[in-house]
Structure 1
Amino acid sequence: CRDKANFILDSINEYLDPCDDFYRYVCYKWQYPRHFHRMGGTLLVMNNVKAVLRDILENNVIPSTMPQSATTKAILLYRACVDDDSSEDNILEHLKMLLKKEGMTRWPLLKYMNYERNNVFRNVYDVILETGMRHIFPFVVQKDMRGTSKYRIYMNQIEFQLVGRKEFVEKTGILDSYAEFIVEVIYLLNKAISRGDAYEIAYNIVKLESELAKRTKPPEARRSPRHIYNKIKIGRLSQHYPQIPWLKLLNNEFKRVNKSITKFESIIFMALEYYSEMQVFLPTVSTNTLYNFITWRTLLKYGPTVSTEFHDLKRDFVISTLGYKPETILWRKCLDSVSEVMPYAIGRLYIDRKFSNRSAHLVNKLFSALKSALADIIRKSDWMDSITKEKALNKLKEMSAVLGYAPLLRDDDFLNRLYDFIPDVSEEIPFTELYYLASKNNELKSLIKLKLRFDKAKVLGPGPTTVSAAYQAANNQIFLSAAMLQPPFFHEEWPAYLNLGAIGITIGHEIMHGFDDKGRQFNGDGRLQEWWEKETLYTFQAKYKCFIEQYGNKYVPEVNMNVNGNLTLGENMADNMGLLIAYKAFENLHGAYERLPGLQRMTAEKLFFISQVMARCVWKPKGVIRKELQFDTNGRYLN
């Protein structure tokens, strides 16, 4: 408690009036180093977690038993990264070999070139068959939202990474910088190409991405799962969209795990209009441009991780457009890369070292107290009818939580099977290939789920080392990572009011996602189903329109932009109700509150709110704020 008291004293500015600007009063003394793209409680925890993991990965003794365990593979993958002394030329050759495995034997293709393997691509679907569906027709294998027992294929619209959808649609100035970045990567991989050809290829890629962006919907138009969910059998799909060879494309993907797709297979489309437009648009695209675009996206996935020169080019682009410097310290880059492709193996190493069962017990008590607080709020609600109230209370009762980590991560056999497509790691295999194989492992593990029965116990959520919490509506389940169970979010020895103010509001926020504009469309079993009575639903919609209007009118002067009230609706509802739920749980403590040493003059109530803000002190450069206001669902610039 003394440490927490000192942390508070080192943060707040007691000369400021908290009633004027409570956030500034609490976060005034935080230091914000400019080499991070953000700074705050989350980054503080991330740095602590990375320091622990670095010690584990660099100093753990590796058992000599074969085959290697998942944790051994993760340790060796990290060491292969930090110890990689390959020349940049060799790394680029490894990257080109990786592209060949993806069906991309050379890059870029020029307009006067024929594709050397088949002499020429006959059409765009030949390109997709050779290079894979995911770049143009993204798909995942997940539990059917309208059923609870089977994994199915979900088809969605394309997503945009370094440059956002809005910037492509509006053709903002960032596109010229993006094209320059592509040109530099072309030169990196093919120094013989002329400058004119490189620019033509780059601008054709940018033009294609812009055309694809026009055929997608913005995220605020896709907030309702019920309205975008469409389940269709492939046989019927082929009648409506005969230009797209569905069976051929899908079987080309799933043959990798020995699964065959028939015309009787049902696919769930979450962006039907995108595919309607793509059937018409795609045949008009040059096969070479499509190939160059798909190869570019593949390079973006692997290049910055394995090549220092590629990483530096991306870094320069990010600095020029977002105003922050990406990670450059080798061990941190390597740790991020391994955590990305082997999150549960890395998570297992972390929980073996740091996780406390007492912390899990205390957080579980908080979860129960917060559910009880929301139940009281629902019962006392004067705008919900009795039928909807009863169903809401049942959903709340059925809501479960994975606090810290999924129990199956302690099962060695289960964990090893998660990564059994990764071969035993040896010094002979370069890091580039190991990273590629680990990434492919995750793709194959996803594909192999198709047609299997859904098992909630095997839903792992975010890895234990991600500093995050999440709610999954299709499972009616909350996930809180082990990494979150440390200051400034939580501590075993803190008084309950401090933990409620910090991590309690986070948990309350996730609970509320089960009842926001999206989560409320799923019942207690996680099934996409309308369960609200009409009059209550109309009242609810009127209430959330107030949120849209209120937040949409909020101006962020640092970047001369307003918050997107539609895009941030769910987060704003969860922020507001998360605080209310946690405060109600605080009121339910009904006890004599332990004062903090050095802060005896502050009441438990004041410290509850200080703890809430302190866990969320954050600094971000203007470029990041601007991008998040356009694309991020988070509305916390004002909450």
Structure 2
Amino acid sequence: MTHSGINLAHIDPNTRPQDDLFDHVNGAWLEAEVIPADRALTGSFITLRDDSEAAVKAIIEHAGAEADSAGAANPLAAKIGALYAGFMDEAAIDAAGATPLAQKLAAIDAADSIDALARLMGEFDRTGGSTLFGAYVNNDAGNPDRALLHLFQAGLGLPDESYYREEKFESVRTAYVTHVQTMLELAGVSDAAAKAPRVMALETEIAATHLDKVSLRDPQKTYNLMDRAATLALLPELEPWLEALGITAEQSAELVVATPGFFTGQQALLVAERCPDWQAWLSMRTISSLAGYLSQDFVDANFAFYGTTLSGTPAIRDRWKRGVALVEGVLGEAVGELYVAEHFPESHKAHMEKLVANLIEAYRSSINELDWMSSGTKEKALEKLAAFTPKIGYPAKWRDYSTLEIVAGDLLGNIERSNAFELARQLAKIGAPIDREEWLMTPQTVNAYYNPTMNEVVFPAAILQPPFFDAEADDAANYGGIGAVIGHEIGHGFDDQGSQFDGTGALRNWWSDEDRAAFEKLTAKLVEQYNDLSPAAAPGEKVNGELTLGENIGDLGGLAIGFKAYQLSLDGAEPAIIDGLTGAQRFFYSWAECWRTKIRPEEALRRLTIDPHSPAELRCNAVVSNLDAFHEAFETTPSDKMWREPAERVSIW
């Protein structure tokens, strides 16, 4: 018999769903659950990530054993095994101490001009450094049939620019200066106590040139197509950096500069008299980028700040878990191919294809029924929907790692070679046809994404597990779980950002002015709603409704369309009562289960500041309170805490 798909043991019978759906469905779990010492939060996503991590560990260890027995007969297994073994060799890493940094720090000391420092930044970035400028290759939003180099702001050691100016982060800033001093001292840098506050002062000036998180969400602001000459006019020091990075004049003939103001802002800072500050800063950036691969004193000091101070996490993750993360970062698809063979039944893919088709059909039906959108814009929206490309489980072709050199016992060399390999892979896209089969996540990743310039929705294999997806469960739970996740990702194609891209992936307006105004009137109501909300873990802080708008639109549309798809799947039949719950109630219980989360206060604050997603309990309660279907399913009344007046409920898609 089909089961409900709902974990009844997690329910708090003392809380009514009409007052707090999230606490009702998850209350017993919230009361009993202890956040693991090595986690900043725990919950449904984390449980699945732990399961995926354990599965990948077994795959890596098997690959290592296979390589030991087969030798050169299986070069990919040998690479997986050697990379992991090198990270797990603590004795050799600790014996090396700060020695792996010596050559880089000496080069920084010798770089006594801005030009030399810019060139050195490029050299470091080519092999995985994280210095002043960011670069990546992506489709040109103006012409998504080609790939271009994109440049963006970087250079900060704190999570974002607001940490350098907001009063509530004063204690974090103080701790950061201490952290910088500690790291410089561990590396043997002279005058660390004097240099640490100068690093902080320089980063504060860099932060002042950064676009804020809300502005970075605006594709019109961040799409600035320029030729090479115009880009170098923003900041001449980009030239030696690009050269050292290995980017040719041809590869940078045209490029997208996401944050032009950031680059012009560096002109006042990249001056000869500031060379000592830049040397201290680059020393810190270099130490920080490699700290996780150095001896235990570096690892501990790095975690004390980034893990404990910023996120409240008491204990660092076991070394094997960090080793798994390294292998996934370097050889993710090689591991993914093995993961899919062991853990992803083809029947799951067929089930998902049906669900995705049903969600797209529900969106089509909903768009046709919209009362705020004109027929002309509806036609364009339906064209975009018809052009969506769903990708499920795993890529059609796997990445080729044959030219990546992994050397046994050379951990830092392997990391640097892998970063250079990935940069070369990215740069090779410039001037080549777009690879529409590429995935930006591995199959073992518990997540999903929408890519606007490809107009594609992607669902890796690892998310297709309970509570999101259960092939043995009733349809209501699957539509409230993975169905709503599918709807969420499709919804990103029609959120405040995605709606600015057409069905080909081009940043092109397909709306009438009147329809865009009507859309923005609805989204403004959503911003206002969320601006008034606070999570339980940070009750004194408010959600940033503008920062989270796209995700909130995705949640709202995804759940509404998920419910519509569930209703369409019934084809007029009355769903059975299971575990005392109607089909509609099971649908909403499943949504609440997906967001089951417990989080540390420090991490809650960090995410409120930089994360475009709303806190988990609000992704549940704030969304369902806007849906008529929720109020009907639970027969809410104005005296219930989840009640929202019908006129105040926001319905967009």
TM superposition score normalised by structure 1: 0.89
User: Which string of whole-angstrom CA distances, capped at 9 and with x for unpartnered residues, describes residues 32-81 of structure 1?
Assistant: 32412111000110111112112222234425364854444123311332
Structure 1 residue 296: Cα displacement? 1.9
- The equivalent of 1:203 in structure 2 is 197
Which of 258, 261, 265 in structure 2 is aligned with 1:273? 261
Tell me if structure 1 keeps the 8 A contact 2:44–2:467: yes
CA-to-aligned-CA distance 1:168-223 (integer Å, 9 cap, x gap): 133622111111112111221218x4xxx212111111111111100011011222
For 2:374, the equivalent position in structure 1 comes to 385
Q: 1:436 aligns with which of 392, 404, 416?
A: 416
1:179 has 2:177 as partner:
yes
The 3-state SS of whatever aligns with 1:39 is: strand
Matches within 5 A, 1:472-551: 472-551=451-530
Alignment-derived partner of residue 8 in structure 1: 7
Which residue is 2:236 aligned to? 244
Alignment partner of 2:143: what SS?
coil
Counterpart mapping for 1:98-113 below 5 A: 100=103, 104-105=105-106, 109=109
Look up the match of 2:66: 62
2:249 alignment partner, one of 261, 264, 268: 261
**1:149 is paired with a residue of what secondary structure?**
strand
Q: Tell me which residue corresponds to 1:32.
A: 34
Query: Structure 1 pair 498/558, CA: closer, same or farther in 2 (3 Å)?
Result: closer
Q: In 1, distance between residues paired with 2:472 and 2:155?
A: 44
Q: Which SS does the other structure have where 1:282 is aligned? A: coil
Show the counterpart of 2:133: 137
Q: Which residue of 2 aligns with 1:233?
A: 227
TM-aligned CA distance change 1:362 to 1:247, over 3 Å: same
Closer/same/farther in 2, CA of residues 131 and 14 from structure 1, 3 Å limit? same
Say which is worse superposed, 393-402 or 335-344, in terms of deviation: 335-344
Q: CA deviation at 1:229?
A: 1.1
SS at structure 2 position matched to 1:563: coil
Look up the SS of the partner of 1:85 in the other structure. Answer: helix
Greater shift, 325-334 or 207-216, is seen at 325-334
Q: Deviations over 1:349-392 (max 9, x none)?
A: 21121111100110111111011111111000011111110110
Change over 3 Å in CA distance of 1:87–1:370 after alignment to 2: closer
Q: CA deviation at 1:613?
A: 0.8
* Equivalent residue runs for 1:218-229 within 5 Å: 218-229=212-223
Aligned to 2:632: none
1:298 partnered with 2:286: yes
Distance of aligned partners of 1:263 and 1:153 in 2 relative to their CA distance in 1, 3 Å threshold: closer
Aligned partners of 2:155 and 2:203 also within 8 Å: no
Deviation track 1:325-358 (CA, whole Å, cap 9, x = no partner) reads: 3533121121112212222122122112111110
Partner of 1:412: none
Residue 567 in structure 1 maps to residue 520 in structure 2: no
Does the C-alpha gap of structure 1 residues 362 and 181 become closer, same or farther in structure 2, counting only changes over 3 Å?
A: same
Residues 451, 62 of structure 1: alpha-carbon distance in 2 compared, 3 angstrom cutoff: same
After superposition, the C-alpha distances for 1:488-544 in whole angstroms (9 at most, x for unaligned) are: 111222222211111111111110000001001111010111111111111111111
Contact 2:404 2:421 in 1 (8 A): yes
Confirm or deny: 8 A CA contact 1:71 1:346 kept in the other structure.
Answer: no
Q: 1:493–1:556: structure 2 CA closer, same or farther, 3 Å change rule?
A: closer
Relative to 1, partners in 2 of residues 1:556 and 1:40: Cα closer, same or farther, differing over 3 Å?
Answer: closer
Counterpart pick for 1:121 among 104, 112, 121: 112
Alignment-derived partner of residue 589 in structure 2: 610
Identify the residue that residue 78 of structure 1 maps to in structure 2. 84
Listed as ranges, the gaps of 5+ residues in structure 1 are: 110-114, 410-414
Tell me which amino acid in the other structure corresponds to 2:427: L
Note closer, same or farther for the CA distance 1:3–1:85 as it changes in structure 2 (3 Å cut): farther
Q: For the residues of structure 2 that align with 1:474 and 1:326, how far apart are their CA atoms?
A: 40
Give the corresponding residue for 1:340: 329
| Residue 288 in structure 1 maps to residue 292 in structure 2 | no
- 437, 443, 455: which one pairs with 2:435? 455
Per-residue deviation, residues 464-501 of structure 1 (Å, max 9, x unmatched) = 11111111101001111111011111122222221111
2 CA distance for matches of 1:178 and 1:4?
49
Question: Contact (CA 8 Å) 2:151, 2:258: kept in 1 or not?
Answer: yes
Per-residue CA deviations over 1:571-619 (Å, capped at 9, x if unaligned) read 11111111101000011122557758xx442112111111111121001
Cα deviation, residue 294, structure 1: 2.3
* Cα shift at 1:150: 2.0
Cα offsets for 1:131-162 (capped at 9, x unmatched):
31662221112211111322211111126454
> CA contact under 8 A between 1:152 and 1:268: conserved in structure 2?
yes
Q: Which of 53, 70, 75 is 1:50 aligned to?
A: 53
Equivalent position amino acid for 1:269 in 2: V
Query: Which residue of structure 2 lines up, in the alignment, with residue 18 of structure 1?
Result: 17
User: How far off is 1:310 after superposition?
Assistant: 1.4
- Aligned 8 A contact 2:487 2:561 in 1: yes
3-state SS of 2:459 partner: strand
Please report how far the alpha carbon of residue 263 of structure 1 lies from its aligned counterpart in structure 2 after TM superposition.
10
Distance 1:608 1:164, change over 3 A: same
Q: TM-score, normalised by structure 2?
A: 0.87
For the 8 Å contact 1:391–1:531, the answer to whether it is kept is yes
CA distance in 2, matches of 1:470, 1:544: 21
Q: What is the CA-CA distance between 1:548 and the residue it aligns to?
A: 1.3
Helix, strand or coil at the partner of 2:420: helix
Contact 1:142 1:153 (8 Å CA) reproduced: yes
Unpaired runs of at least 5, structure 2:
620-653
Contact 1:230/1:268 (<8 A) preserved? yes
Residue 388 of structure 2 aligns with which residue? 399
Give 1:308's match in structure 2, choosing from 289, 296, 299: 296
* CA 179–455 in structure 1, closer or farther in 2 if over 3 Å, else same: same
Contact 1:233 1:263 in 2 (8 A): no
Change (3 A) 1:508 1:71: farther
Counterpart Cα distance in 2 of 1:70 and 1:264? 33
Q: What's 1:582 paired with?
A: 562
1:304-383 alignment, distance < 5 Å = 304-317=292-305, 318-325=307-314, 327-383=316-372
Aligned match of 1:96: 101
Q: Is the 8 A contact 2:224 2:257 kept in 1?
A: yes
Contact 1:497–1:608 at 8 Å: present in 2 too? yes
What value does the CA root-mean-square deviation take over the aligned residues? 2.3
Q: Distance in 1 between matches of 2:177 and 2:410?
A: 30
Q: Contact 2:59–2:335 (CA<8 Å) still a contact in 1?
A: no
**Are the counterparts in 2 of residues 235 and 264 from structure 1 also a CA contact under 8 Å?**
no
Structure 2 CA distance, aligned partners of 1:450 and 1:263? 6
Q: Could you say what secondary structure the match of 1:529 adopts? A: coil
Amino acid at match of 1:484: I
> Hey, what does 1:158 align to over in structure 2?
154
